[in-house]
Chain A
């Protein structure tokens, strides 16, 4: 059987060729190819790990930022609140002071008015008294020719005085 009898020539050439191919490919192909694939796999692994780390770092930073933001917002609210109370306080104070001041002024004005009134009354009294004296003098001069009349007048006057 030709078909299933290995011919020595083909066996020889196949062995030779295969061994040469194995040696050549091992040196020039498999070593660089497998090495490169291995290296790339490692670098991809590394890159993925790094990406994971970066992601974690990013998340950390984001949460930190959020914290900071929240803190800042709270602080701002606090400041605003403080400012408001301060403003209210100042306003109240000012109002109170203004009231006090106004009351004082009114008091002063009242006293002044009282004083003026007193002075005016005193002056009026003076004038009235001097006028009445003058009138009295004149009346007296005209009426007090008569003694009885004089006496009646005096009595009347005295009454009046007492009434005053």
Chain B
């Protein structure tokens, strides 16, 4: 309960900071994209250098003395892809699904031959440019206008890796559930005894203290969130197929998870929650400011969740890849032991972070739910 109070005060402070930040930025900037370019100049530099070098990618792909570009390699890993790189020059082609004004278009990304060829689809000609599917106009150049009207619903590397994670989760938990049905009232065994403490941890240390007696209703959401993030985080640490995708370090996934939290919190908010937002206990002259702060707080809380998970996971991947890149930057094997030692250290740390981020996301979700369903007497 003590910890609860600390969290509440932290959340309030965070809310105010975010409110001010967003208010400040929204004066001159209207998209988050630009917000980030202002806040994280390093990333933009990284991306720009990636842009600059990508043009030469086609020629570099052919053998010969390649110049090693760590930023490009790292950004390629961090970003999503239409191919699932397996080893060397072997990649697993993934299905491309495009929703064009003309209709649905489905084909294999293998048709692009690593971006070297265009693909003549039913409605348009497509070209893979920086791992984005673009429409090629009649003049042989990318037609940006038409490209914007095409929605990309492809099964990308991240989507495929997420499906793998979901498959693993389903297999694990349905088999565990089967074990419970088979061994009614007996002590857990095997996988069951590994999963059970985590489930009980989520119930007794995340849901119960933060939500209170209404916790049972939110258990499925909290457990699913926790294990979905945990398995995706852990699979992201596996350097070979079917891991290696930076699923939870992708803003789209964290956006969806944060949106889920936003919806479940606000759809379950009781009258006290809404009263706290629209009729706060403050002097009347503070009222307009407080309402704005509280309303922004509704958005900023899940926004913080989204950014935290995304930044943590992406940062971890970038560090590990940078350490590995050291070997190729120095072009000597002598640096390898140092690199590997640091990578092992980082991987162990990332293992902790994988648990920690899943835990924090779930804990804060539970906390927000708790604040929304709390009864005041």
Contacts and interface: CB of A to CB of B under 8 A. Distances in A.
B79 A30 contact: no
A24 B62 CA distance: 46
B10 to A, nearest CB: 24
A29 B314 CA distance: 30
Contacts of A39: 184-185
Contacts of A32: 177, 180-181
A8 B374 CA distance: 35
B153 to A, nearest CB: 5
A10 interface: yes
Contacts of B105: none
Given A3-B43, A4-B33, A21-B170, A10 B228 contact: no
Contacts of B79: 2-3
B180 A13 contact: no
A9 B154 contact: yes
A15 interface: yes
Nearest to B180: A36
Interface string B219-251: 111011001100000000000000000000011
A4 B43 CA distance: 10
Nearest to B159: A13
Contact of A36 (B170, B181, B252, B314): B181
Contacts of B156: 7, 9-10
Contacts of B177: 28-29, 32-33
A27 B255 CA distance: 25
Contacts of A2: 47, 79, 130
Interface residues of B, number: 58
B355 interface: no
Interface in B148-169: 151-156, 158-159, 162-163, 166, 169
A25 B224 contact: yes
A7 B256 contact: no
Contact of A3 (B78, B151, B152, B162): B78
Interface string A49-77: 00000000000000000000000000000
A14 B247 CA distance: 10
Indicate the member of A12, A14, A32 with the most B CB atoms within 10 Å: A14
A159 B166 CA distance: 164
A31 B220 CA distance: 8
Nearest to A14: B256
B200 interface: yes
A29 B202 CA distance: 15
Given A3-B314, A6-B255, A7-B80, A30 B220 contact: yes
A6 B228 contact: no
Contacts of B181: 32, 36
B322 to A, nearest CB: 16
A17 B176 contact: no
A33 B44 contact: no
Nearest to B174: A28
A163 to B, nearest CB: 130
A37 interface: yes
A30 B221 CA distance: 10
A3 B253 CA distance: 12
A13 B251 CA distance: 13
A148 interface: no
A29 B179 CA distance: 11
Contacts of A161: none
Nearest to B311: A4
Interface of B: 32-33, 36-37, 43-44, 47, 75, 78-80, 97, 130, 151-156, 158-159, 162-163, 166, 169-170, 173-174, 176-177, 180-181, 184-185, 195-196, 199-200, 203, 216, 219-221, 223-224, 227-228, 250-253, 255-257, 259-260, 310, 314
Given A2-B79, A14-B256, A26-B224, 18 more contacts: A1-B37, A3-B36, A3-B43, A3-B78, A4-B43, A4-B251, A6-B255, A8-B152, A11-B255, A13-B159, A14-B162, A14-B253, A18-B256, A25-B169, A25-B224, A29-B174, A32-B180, A33-B180
9 tightest A-B CB contacts, nearest first: A10-B252, A29-B173, A36-B180, A6-B252, A26-B220, A32-B177, A14-B256, A13-B159, A9-B153
25 contacts: A2-B47, A3-B36, A3-B79, A4-B36, A5-B32, A7-B156, A8-B151, A9-B154, A10-B156, A10-B159, A11-B252, A14-B162, A14-B256, A14-B257, A18-B228, A18-B256, A21-B228, A25-B173, A26-B220, A26-B224, A29-B173, A29-B177, A30-B224, A32-B181, A39-B185
